[in-house]
A and B are shown apart, each in its own frame.
Chain A
Amino acid sequence: MEYVSPEGLRIDGRRPMEMRKLHAEMGVVAKADGSAVFVMGNTKVIAAVYGPREVQNRSQQMSDQALVRCEYSMANFSTGDRMRKGKGDRRSTEISLVVRQTMEACILTHLMPRSQIDIYVQVLQADGGTRCACINAATLALADAAIPMRDLVTSCSAGYLNSTPLLDLNYVEDSAGGPDVTVGILPKMDKVTLLQMDSKLPIDTFDNVMQLAIEGCKAVATYIREVLLENTKQLEYHRGV
């Protein structure tokens, strides 16, 4: 199948190095300490953060740092064909783990000893790149809950189809079976915290694809930063002196 037309356009009309439209909203769950919706094109993810709060299971309590938990789920209506999958299938367990580890790496857990932070992410619409959208939404929700972090974490994916590196794959491109590189970075510190890849790539091409994904992450970071700053300003203006 042809994923990049001779004119250099992808199936959804984007250029190879073009991202989908980003949109983010904060404070969407009233009862949560922090929450956000993150939209990348047709992928839409909601994240809610509770905590730092008392540890529910006393035996898991740590006296020098906070416990971070994460639960990923996919709404039944999020995909084209309505699938009924219970909680805890392999895919969602894996993504829960990935999101947890990525977020734990940037949260300053030692500042909140003997407490627990719960991150719930749910995919409302799935169109490829749900993993990246989840991480981005979780970052926003954590920042909304004012949980201290080393840096923001942003994530973006890139692939390689028809001998062209493609940024931010959608579902059709994702299911083409080609290589799919998901990268998560700490933009300010310039460090990689997450790197996953399906299938294989020659090392020199891999470099290009990963560089492209990192550029994507940086673009996401710029956007997230704008949203956060605007949100903080609004809160401060409303509160008054």
Chain B
Amino acid sequence: MGRMRGLEIPLTQTQKIRLQRALQKLESLSSKANSNASVTVADSIPVNYDDGFLKGHGTSELNGEVIATVCGVVERVNKLVYVRTLRARYKPEVGDIVVGRVIEVAPKRWRIDINFSQDAVLMLSSMNLPDGIQRRRTAVDELNMRSIFEENDVVCAEVRGFHHDGLQLQARSQKYGKLERGQLLSIPPYLVKRRKQHFHYIEEYGIDLILGCNGFIWVGEHAEPKDDMVIDEQANKSDQILKPSKYSMTLEEQERAYTPLETRQNVCRTANAIRVLSTLGFSVTIEIIMDTVTMSMSLKEIHEMLGSEFCVLVAEREAERRSSAKKKG
């Protein structure tokens, strides 16, 4: 086996052997389940021609043969044959929860980078107004757009669908909106599985975790779901936090803007856990993240999580977890 992609940590000889052993274990576990399903560009995919079949994404036809147009894993659903890509950019599906970064405030809309081949659009009309009243958006609302989201803000939204050749988002609930006091991580989207729950509040550590389907992950201090009525007031306050003028803030406001050290450490711990998992190429789910965070408690410093020893430990742990899951199932 060659050098592992993305892994640029110097390993000692024993660590190298341990890591290799763990990865070999992973290989032996999964190769039984899904052998020979991997294809590369222009490989022919065996299909049952008598039975009829549907060509899905990542396939095309050449001389009556179905061939792959991307590298990935062949998936079959009834008659449909398609290639599931790894390492591709995010492909939106309606209802996906995504995290993105505002790159432009345009008339009546924000342009948001969500790791797709185009920028997504969040219309002013497809999000709740700060005052919580349902009404037509006025010119004043349009002028105040920057008080809701500015350039470079991190936001959370839901995929609404394709309209007018563009990808539209919506944020019609209190759980969506601007994300503050935390970290944005970007990992390959194939590592995030679509699930019922993408918002997680980890009470133990006082943090929020949003696993965006697009591979953008938010780890931040827990924010209470805000009451519709007081939002306006709070939005004004967060404005002041953005342009810090310490003296203009009341004590109460300063306290609200302050994140305790412990919470900040927990945010970093969780973020580092996700970083380790994604460099190893393991799928990132809430259970695995929390397990990795618990493992990291034995370390003295949080930054040691990005060192080689912890990386090897995580790999060994993953191998163990998968083999025990295999035995059970």
Q: For the complex, what is the distance from the CA of A151 to the CA of B5, rounded to whole Å?
A: 24
What's the count of A-B pairs with C-beta under 8 Å?
Answer: 130
The A-contacting residues of B in range 71-111, CB under 8 angstroms, are 71-73, 85-89
Beta-carbon nearest neighbor of B279 in chain A: A30
Nearest-neighbour CB distance to chain B for A160, whole angstroms, equals 31
A11 within 8 A of B: no
Q: Tell me if B191 and A239 are in contact (CB < 8 A).
A: yes
Complex contact B30–A241 (CB within 8 A): yes
CA distance A237 to B58 in the complex (A): 20
* A27–B278 CA distance with the chains assembled, in angstroms: 13
B25-61 near A? 1/0 per residue, CB < 8 Å? 0110111011000111111000000000000001010
- In the complex, whether A152 has a CB less than 8 A from a CB of chain B is yes
Partner of B86, one of A30, A108, A115, A236: A236
Q: Are A149 and B318 in contact (CB under 8 A)?
A: no
User: What is the chain B residue whose CB lies nearest that of A107?
Assistant: B69
Q: How far is the CB of B164 from chain A (nearest CB, A)?
A: 11
Instruction: Decide: B86 and A146 in contact? CB cutoff 8 A.
Output: yes
Given the known interface contacts A63-B165, A149-B70, A239-B190, the answer about A232 and B40 at a Cβ–Cβ threshold of 8 Å is: yes
Complexed CA–CA distance, A232 and B5 (Å): 12
Among A28, A63, A143, residue most surrounded by chain B Cβ atoms (within 10 Å): A143
On whether the beta carbons of A115 and B117 are closer than 8 Å, the reply is: yes
A238 located at the interface, meaning its Cβ lies under 8 Å from any Cβ of chain B in the complex: yes
User: Does the CB pair A241–B33 fall under 8 Å?
Assistant: yes
Report the bound CA distance from A237 to B281 in whole Å: 9
Q: Is B322 an interface residue (CB 8 A)?
A: yes
The answer to the question of A144 belonging to the interface, with a C-beta cut-off of 8 Å to chain B, is yes
Most buried by A among B39, B40, B70: B40
Complex Cα distance, B118 from A114, in Å, reads: 7
Query: Which residue of A146, A188, A189, A237 contacts B71 across the interface (Cβ within 8 Å)?
Result: A146
A25-B3 contact given A240-B26, A240-B318, CB 8 Å threshold: yes
Instruction: Give the distance to chain B from A103, nearest Cβ to Cβ, in Å.
Output: 13
Q: Are A152 and B5 in contact (CB under 8 A)?
A: no
A132 interfacial by beta-carbon distance below 8 Å: no
Would you call A203 an interface residue if the criterion is a C-beta within 8 Å of the partner chain's C-beta atoms?
no
**Residue numbers in A under 8 Å from B201 (CB-CB):** none
B89 touching A239, Cβ below 8 Å: no
Among the stretches A46-54, A76-84, A207-215, the one at the interface with B is A46-54
B5 touches which of A27, A149, A236 (Cβ 8 Å): A27
Query: What A residues does B125 contact at CB under 8 A?
Result: none
Residues of A within 8 A of B205 (CB): none
Q: A238 — which chain B residues lie within 8 A by C-beta? A: 23, 26, 280-282
Tell me the complex Cα distance, A121–B170, Å.
39
Q: Does A40 contact B (CB under 8 A)?
A: no
Q: Is the CB of B2 within 8 A of A25?
A: yes
Q: Give the CA-CA distance A149 to B89 in the complex, in Å.
A: 15
Q: Which residues of B contact A229 (CB under 8 A)?
A: 38-40, 71
| Distance in angstroms between the alpha carbons of A152 and B30 in the assembled complex | 28
* Given contact pairs A114-B117, A236-B38, a sample of 6 additional A-B residue pairs in the complex whose CB atoms are under 8 Å apart: A53-B117, A149-B42, A229-B39, A237-B31, A238-B23, A240-B322
21 residue pairs of the A-B complex, CB under 8 angstroms, read A52-B89, A63-B165, A66-B117, A143-B41, A146-B86, A148-B58, A148-B69, A150-B60, A151-B41, A152-B40, A189-B42, A228-B71, A229-B38, A232-B73, A234-B4, A234-B27, A235-B281, A236-B30, A236-B73, A240-B29, A240-B322
